[in-house]
């Protein structure tokens, strides 16, 4: 039996993990529209049913909650049964959700559809990120970043087609066509996914400190380090989610949505230009800052990126009514925000080990769901204050606080914990035996 397993492992070869990474990226790209394409449907839904933006955005909140808060359960299934069956079910649910959106005629139906889509997207997201964290112990930030980039940039190529279909055939047709296509592709790709062997998950030479202990999920929840990371994730995710869900209404209220903007020889309405650039930058930032963190350290990278995000949001509040600056600054905001989806999963697995990476990273990922609870309040705050500036100022302050806490609180706490557990040192010159049982 052992020889058969060894032969099967040998047939995988050194490039097999890159194939797994690629398949995960494809799956992530196919579920990206459920979050990043949502803003295109808010105004058409309101125009048809007159439910109000705040009521419609509750569906977005439900989607994010179910996409995030159930990931620990889906991660547990991945850690136990492998990635294939979880992604397979996720693809089916994703297809059903958007196809169903084409026919909803009540808020309750919209909310149920959002929950179904959230469960499906979460199953795909949690599985693919968890699988990448396991396959790449030596390049964890880069691998998690490339996988998350599929989710961040996956909708970039479909912004124009979705807008065109909504304009010519209605939002219902866009929901139906893209729902079916995305679900089918995820279902087919899921057949190629596979989990790594234990030997593939062992720490290799790395520039970051990694724990030699594999924490079980229950143990993770009892560590202060986890809850500090959770707080930072909530602070960072809240501002970005507000921009993600509200970018179209913001552009409309700033009176720049339909103003033509020409950059590098390309002319598009400001909102369309911003959405396209934002998706690309929101994708690029994930592997970029993941790679930076593999070399510079997780918390140092957090401080830089989170600080840029705080400044970018303030600049958007001050200069966003200029259509050119709206496009450029919204791109900066997305660039400095999207890296949380590579930095936090890799930091989590560095701190708690790869054996239960899908479940543990899923526990941390629920912070995105917690942050989404603040999204409807942004619409309420706009109504109360008569503009977006209060929202921007609050979001900027949250990001600035996260930057400072990452460097002054998380960094020393995490190093202290890892030193007690046993660490894979950055220069790989010595290995410390774990002091705690697996």
Q: What is the DSSP string of 272-324?
A: HHHHHHHHHHHHHHHHHHHHHHHHH-HHHHHHHHHHHHHHHHHHHHHHTTSHH
For the residues 146-160, what does the mean pLDDT come to? 81
d(CA 262, CA 360): 45
- Is the pLDDT confidence value at 395 over 90? no
User: Band of the pLDDT at 27, cuts 50, 70, 90?
Assistant: very high
| C-beta neighbour count of 429 within 10 angstroms | 7
Residue 267, helix vs strand vs coil: strand
In whole angstroms, how large is the CA radius of gyration of the chain? 21
Exposed e or buried b for every residue in 130-143, given b needs 16+ CB within 10 A?
bbbbbbbbbbbbbb
Of 155-164, 400-409, 428-437, which range is least confident?
Answer: 428-437
Instruction: CATH number of the domain at 317, please.
Output: 1.20.1250.20
3-state secondary structure of 352: helix
Residue 429 within any structural domain of the chain: no
Does 7 have pLDDT greater than 80?
A: no
User: What's the rounded mean pLDDT across residues 317-328?
Assistant: 90
Give the global pTM: 0.80
- The CA-atom distances, in angstroms, between 6 and each of 1, 9, 99 are 9, 5, 44
Q: Looking at per-residue confidence, does 421 or 82 come out higher?
A: 82
Q: What angle do CA 438, 234, 271 make, to 5 degrees?
A: 130
DSSP summary character for residue 206: -
pLDDT of 392 higher than 50: yes
pLDDT band of 145, cuts 50, 70, 90:
very high
More confident residue, 250 or 290: 290
Position 245 pLDDT exceeds 70 = no
- Tell me which residue of 11, 71, 70 sits closest to 194, measured CA to CA: 11
- 385: exposed, middle or buried (Cβ count in 10 Å: 0-12, 13-18, 19+): exposed
Asked if residue 92 is part of any domain, the answer here is yes
* pLDDT per position as a tens digit, 277-319: 887 887 889 999 999 999 999 999 999 999 999 999 899 888 9
125: Cα separation from own chain's centroid: 8
Distances (CA, A) of 426 to 2, 133, 189, 198, 294: 33, 18, 35, 21, 10
Q: For 352-376, what is each residue's pLDDT tens digit?
A: 999 899 999 999 999 988 887 877 7
Outline where DSSP puts E strands in 352-395. none
pLDDT digits (tens, 9 = 90+) for 73-132: 999 999 989 999 999 999 999 999 999 999 999 999 999 999 999 999 999 999 999 999
Distance, in Å, from the CA atom of 290 to the CA atom of 68, rounded to the nearest integer, reads 21
**Can you give the residue range of the structural domain that contains 419?**
16-424
Least confidently predicted of 47-51, 54-58, 78-82, 151-155? 151-155
Among 148, 169, 145, 178, CA closest to 38:
178
Q: Find the angle CA(172)-CA(178)-CA(184) to the nearest 5 degrees.
A: 135
Burial label for 215, CB within 10 Å (0-12, 13-18, 19+), is: buried
- What is the token pair recorded at 375? 């999204």
Nearest to 66 by CA among 117, 109, 106: 117
Question: What does the CA dihedral 250, 252, 256, 262 come to, rounded to 10 degrees?
Answer: 90
Number of domains in the chain: 1
Distance CA 426, CA 311 (A): 32
């Amino acid at each position: 039996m052992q020889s058969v397993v060894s032969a099967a492992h040998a047939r995988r070869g050194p490039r097999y993990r890159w194939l797994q990474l690629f398949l995960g990226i494809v799956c992530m790209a196919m579920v990206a529209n459920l979050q990043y394409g949502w803003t295109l449907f808010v105004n058409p839904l309101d125009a048809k049913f007159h439910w109000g933006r705040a009521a419609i955005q509750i569906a977005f909140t439900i989607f994010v909650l179910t996409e995030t808060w159930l990931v620990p359960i889906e991660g547990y299934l991945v850690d136990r049964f492998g990635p294939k069956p979880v992604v397979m079910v996720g693809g089916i649910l994703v297809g059903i959700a958007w196809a169903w959106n084409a026919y909803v005629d009540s808020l309750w139906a919209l909310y149920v559809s959002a929950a179904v889509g959230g469960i499906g997207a979460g199953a795909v997201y949690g599985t693919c990120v968890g699988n990448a964290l396991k396959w790449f112990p030596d390049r964890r930030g880069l691998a998690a970043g490339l996988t998350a980039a599929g989710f961040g940039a996956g909708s970039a190529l479909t912004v124009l087609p979705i807008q065109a279909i909504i304009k010519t055939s209605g939002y219902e047709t866009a929901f139906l066509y893209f729902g079916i296509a995305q679900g089918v592709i995820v279902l087919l790709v899921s057949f190629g996914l596979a989990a790594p062997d234990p030997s593939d998950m062992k720490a290799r030479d790395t520039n970051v400190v990694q724990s030699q202990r594999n924490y079980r999920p229950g143990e993770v929840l009892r560590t202060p380090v986890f809850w500090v990371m959770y707080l930072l994730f909530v602070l960072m995710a809240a501002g970005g989610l507000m921009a993600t869900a509200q970018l179209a209404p913001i552009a409309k209220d700033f009176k720049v949505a339909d103003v033509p903007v020409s950059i590098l020889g390309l002319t598009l309405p400001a909102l369309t230009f911003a959405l396209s650039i934002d998706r690309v930058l929101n994708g690029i930032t994930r592997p970029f800052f993941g790679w930076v963190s593999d070399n510079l350290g997780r918390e140092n990278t957090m401080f830089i990126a989170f600080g840029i995000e705080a400044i970018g949001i303030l600049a958007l509040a001050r200069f966003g009514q200029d259509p050119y600056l709206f496009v450029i600054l919204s791109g900066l905001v997305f660039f400095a925000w999207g890296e949380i989806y590579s930095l936090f999963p890799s930091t989590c697995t560095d701190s708690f080990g790869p054996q239960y990476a899908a479940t543990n990273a899923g526990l941390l990922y629920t912070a995105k769901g917690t942050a989404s609870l603040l999204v409807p309040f942004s619409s309420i705050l706009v109504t109360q204050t008569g503009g977006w500036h209060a929202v921007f100022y609050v979001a900027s302050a949250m990001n600035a606080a996260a930057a400072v806490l990452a460097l002054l609180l998380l960094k020393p706490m995490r190093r202290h914990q890892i030193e007690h557990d046993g660490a894979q040192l950055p220069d790989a010159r010595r290995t410390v035996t774990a002091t705690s049982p697996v």
